[in-house]
Amino acid sequence: MREDRQRLDKWLWYARFARTRSLAVKLVESGHVRVNGQRQTNPAKGIAVGDVLTVAAPHATVAVRVLDLGERRGSAPQAQTLYEEAG
C-alpha cells in the first residue's frame, strides 16, 4: 500500500474504534463503516488523511475526519489525535 494510505481495519484499531484488529475486520465486513459516504465491506480498503468515516459501532454512530494515519496503537489520548468529529 502507498505511504499516504492505510488499511481501513488497521486505522480503526489504531484509533480505538475496535478493541482488536479482528473485531475491526468484522466491523467493516458487516457493513458498519462508510468511507466518504460509501459503505465498505473490504477491510483492506485504503484510506487517506482527509477521508470522512462513519462508524456504526454497537455503542454509538460517529462521523470522523481522518487527521493522521498513525504508526501504532497507543493510548486513548494518542488515538484521539488521529481524527476529529466531522459535522
Task: Enter the C-alpha cell of residue 25.
Answer: 475486520
Q: What tens digit of pLDDT does each residue of 13-69 get?
A: 999 999 999 999 999 999 999 999 999 999 999 999 999 999 997 778 999 999 999
Q: Percent helix, strand and coil across the chain, each rounded to 5?
A: 25, 30, 45
Q: What does the mean pLDDT of the chain come to? A: 94
CATH number of 6-85: 3.10.290.10
Instruction: Cell numbers for 6, please give them.
Output: 492505510
Tell me the mean pLDDT in the region 67-82.
94
pTM reported for the whole predicted model: 0.93
Asked whether the CA dihedral 54, 40, 68, 73 is positive or negative, the reply is positive
Strand, coil or helix: what is 14? helix
For 35, the grid coordinates are: 468511507
